[in-house]
Amino acid sequence: MSRPAAATPDQIRSTVLAMLAEAGDATPATGTRFRQLVSVRKLRARLGAGDPATLARALNAIEAEVVRTGLAEIAIPGIPPDIAEQMRALWQAAVTVQLDDVMHLKADAQQAIAAADAARTDAELRVELLRQELTELRAAVAARDAELADLRAQHGVLKDRCAALDASAQEQQAQLDATAAGRTAQEHAHREALDEAQHRYEALSRQLLQETAHQREALKKEHAQSASQLKFAERRVAALEAERDRLDGELLQERETRQQAVGEALALKAVNASQHAQLSELMRIVSALEAPRRAPAASPGLATAKRTRTPARGGGTSRTKKS
pLDDT of residue 297: 53
Q: How does pLDDT run along the chain (323 residues), one tens digit per residue? A: 445 446 787 888 888 888 877 776 656 666 677 777 788 888 888 888 778 888 888 888 877 777 665 544 444 555 676 776 676 677 666 656 655 665 677 578 778 888 888 888 989 999 999 999 999 999 999 999 999 999 999 999 999 988 999 998 899 999 999 999 998 999 989 889 888 888 888 889 889 899 888 898 888 888 888 888 888 888 889 999 998 999 999 999 999 998 998 988 899 989 989 998 999 999 989 888 887 766 655 555 544 444 545 444 444 444 444 43
Torsion angle of C-alpha atoms 114, 120, 122, 124, degrees rounded to 10: -150
Q: State the Cα–Cα distance between residues 182 and 176, nearest whole angstrom.
A: 10
Q: State the Cα–Cα distance between residues 297 and 304, nearest whole angstrom.
A: 7
CB burial class (10 A; 0-12, 13-18, 19+) of residue 67?
middle
Residue 71 DSSP class: G
Q: Is 92 in contact with 25 (CB distance < 8 Å)? A: no
pLDDT of residue 67: 65
Q: Is the dihedral of CA 219, 224, 229, 235 positive or negative?
A: positive
Q: State the Cα–Cα distance between residues 213 and 206, nearest whole angstrom.
A: 11
Backbone angles phi, psi at 58, to 5 degrees: -65, -40
Residue 73 DSSP class: G
The region, left, alpha or beta by phi > 0 then psi within -120 to 50, assigned to residue 48 is left
Q: State the Cα–Cα distance between residues 260 and 264, nearest whole angstrom.
A: 6
Q: Is 286 in contact with 323 (CB distance < 8 Å)? A: no
pTM over 0.85: no
Backbone angles phi, psi at 71, to 5 degrees: -70, -25
Give the residue ranges of DSSP H helices in the chain: 9-23, 31-37, 40-47, 52-69, 81-297, 302-322
Q: Is 9 in contact with 58 (CB distance < 8 Å)? A: yes
